[in-house]
Structure 1
């Protein structure tokens, strides 16, 4: 009998001997070739430590506003798997994904594939069959050995570079920068949203002859009270502020505009479409304000770079009477770096374990917070209970922020958004 999507996903979580992550391109390339996945439309690959999903959202909504058929691969998902594979900014249905999984199953023979490799192949298979005009593919982890790197991009973006996934990418910024630069291609625009970039990234771009564009050097932007200006591969003044909240979203949007300008010969886009796309872009859980009085914010930040950005964004909000954190994190993350950046931004902490193998238990979580000199901590059985208690305790002018992991935000997003 045909598997449902839920049955497929449960199978994929355990099917590959090395689990969900197994870096390398040999196995997936063999299956790609067997499936004859050879996209002819422009491809934009988006990598980086943070900001990938938002940049993909800007690109997708702008190209859609311009009238193009857009295929977008992102990860992870917050509410349901289908979010990862979108056509024209809408999640595809179960039937399309199941059909793609079945085609992959036939093509792979005895080649073992990870969950994310199935995800990547399914997305491109669906996009190719739908004859999309542009594919936007988000890197899952790193770049050089990530599954999306089996496809040659017409333009690449690296939004930011910081430490995360050190077990796979290295424990220095220079090592991480080299891994992320692996998506660059010769004689192709390679856009970097960090200035200065790691030297390894600059060196790799020069070595292969990539056309490196660095923010605030090769392209620039200026923010005004109600508008902003962009100068680079396009020159546009008085753009509307992006719909996505957070000061860092201007940097993500600038990277997206530089890419759009770099591909304007193949995919021309009007200023009106850019403005419309900036204002319509959505991305669940990225400094997302879901409620006022009390203010409730969802933020998937789970590493020190994201924590610093979250702290900066608080400065642009009205002063809250009481600042409440609903927090949990995975055990393999840099919790000290996250807490060090944010411990002074909250008055009360409501914590709970994540019910998954990589989740940090309450005892270890409490110990870490005490080591970082955080007091006023309440412990709950799960994140939903922690949030309900925070909401019950909060007054009109307080602020509740749910953060620390995609999994943390997902549990609350299912209550508030689904």
Structure 2
């Protein structure tokens, strides 16, 4: 007990708290939500007096959440947004009215969670989800947007009953955790569906298990191409929802119409009124960081967290639009629970030379260079900085450098970019 009290009373920094939580909490995903649910009940955070959107899906969760956040905030509503993972620092995970919180707020919440948790086992994600919900409840927000970490059914965010659930899409990813078939993954993601509530599914075809769950729970089901859809004409889009038509607008390159349309359709089924002018203002929304994020023009440096086959396919389409005759250099790295070869496959016809890196993360993909499936021209590095030091000597001002893969890869590169004079005698335009 003495050690426990010392931890609570000690003036630990946010970084020290995060290291403590990561060390003390279970690293593996639990097979039920009993522990996190019981602690949430003790803290009285199961019934947050806000309208709740919960978002899951293989790709597009973060983008859909950010679009919801921007549209709601710009319409005068107070909004909380819980997202993961972070890229630069932990504070990115919790946003209130589009602002991150100071360290002291997170530290206070951690202390409360730890004082209640005591010896109860939680995962890292469960711990920080509880602290985030505690922060949101104290702010008494109009709307709360929860992005699921992995799956849905056993995700910590699922202790909260959403008014509207959104499943952006269902693809093969996190198969060691969610199962190795679309049916298994669909079942896990559909775990966020709540009885007598509204659900949006942005997938054309999905397994029968979802229809069964929809019927059992009496879900008010909204499906793409039935309840909302869009048309494209000369790079302009028109969105049709059950309530209105939003005509002829242009999207930035790093925002997908799929994510914009499902967000608008969901808002049109909520009690919140979003003016058309606020929707058109989405044109000024630059999108999520590190989703086809161009941070330099000469040379063109692009950051993207495409870390599964489907997101890599989207990325390849964007690259083809800007490639022309430019040389493309790639620095790539992902975690070992991803399908490495299927993820790089969409880019193989575009990229001739690859620079593969081992990330600092303990779950980084490790390269067996004896395998025959690697691209003909590829190089392997033990760190991001090692790959960067090689590539920066070769790249020209008119070339393209694409750094893509895991969030951890982008995070590591960001720190290099911020702290090193990466192009001596070369001008970089942001």
TM-score range, shorter chain: over 0.9
Regions of 4+ moved over 4 Å? none
Unaligned runs of 5+ in 1: none
The answer as to whether partners of 1:20 and 1:116 remain within 8 angstroms in 2 is no
Q: Which has the larger radius of gyration?
A: 2
> CA 1:120 to 1:277, structure 2 compared with 1: closer, same or farther past 3 Å?
farther
Displacement after TM superposition at 1:318 (Å): 4.1
1:253 to 236, 260, 264: 260
> Aligned residue for 1:117?
126
Distance 1:104 1:329 in 2: 32
Deviation at 1:415, TM superposition (A): 3.6
Change over 3 Å in CA distance of 1:294–1:199 after alignment to 2: farther
Q: How far, CA to CA, are the matches of 1:212 and 1:167 in structure 2? A: 29
Q: Secondary structure at the match of 2:59?
A: coil
Distance 1:198 1:158, change over 3 A: same
1:347 aligns with 2:352: yes
Aligned residue in 1 for 2:33: 25
Matches of 1:59 and 1:196 in 2, distance apart? Answer: 24
Count of residues paired in the alignment: 409
Residue aligned with 2:322, SS: coil
SS of aligned partner of 1:316: helix
The Cα of 1:326 is off from its aligned counterpart by 0.5
Q: What do the CA deviations read for 1:31-74 (whole angstroms, capped 9, x no partner)?
A: 11000012111000000011111111101111111111110000
The 1:274/1:108 distance shift into structure 2, 3 A limit, reads: same
CA contact (8 A) 2:326 2:398 kept: yes
Does the CA contact (< 8 Å) of 1:63 and 1:269 recur in 2?
yes
- Alpha-carbon offset, residue 260 of structure 1: 0.7
User: For 1:162, what is the secondary structure of its paired residue?
Assistant: coil
Aligned equivalents of 1:200, 1:308: Cα separation in 2:
27
1:327 aligns with 2:332: yes
TM-score (norm. length: structure 2): 0.90
Alignment of 1:60-79 (within 5 A): 60-79=69-88
CA RMSD of the aligned region, Å? 1.9
Partner of 1:310: 315
Q: 1:124 to 1:313 in 2, by over 3 A?
A: same
Judged with a 3 Å threshold, the aligned counterparts in structure 2 of structure 1 residues 15 and 373 are, in CA distance, closer, same or farther, namely closer
Structure 2, unaligned runs of 5 or more: 1-9, 420-430
Structure 2 counterpart of 1:294, from 296, 299, 306: 299
Q: Could you tell me which residue of structure 2 aligns to residue 227 of structure 1?
A: 236
Aligned in 2, Cα 1:289/1:216: closer, same or farther, shift over 3 Å? farther
Query: Normalised by the size of structure 1, how large is the TM-score?
Result: 0.93
Mean Cα deviation higher: 301-310 or 235-244: 235-244
Alignment of 1:184 onto 2:193 = yes
Contact 2:176–2:337, Cα closer than 8 Å, also in 1: no
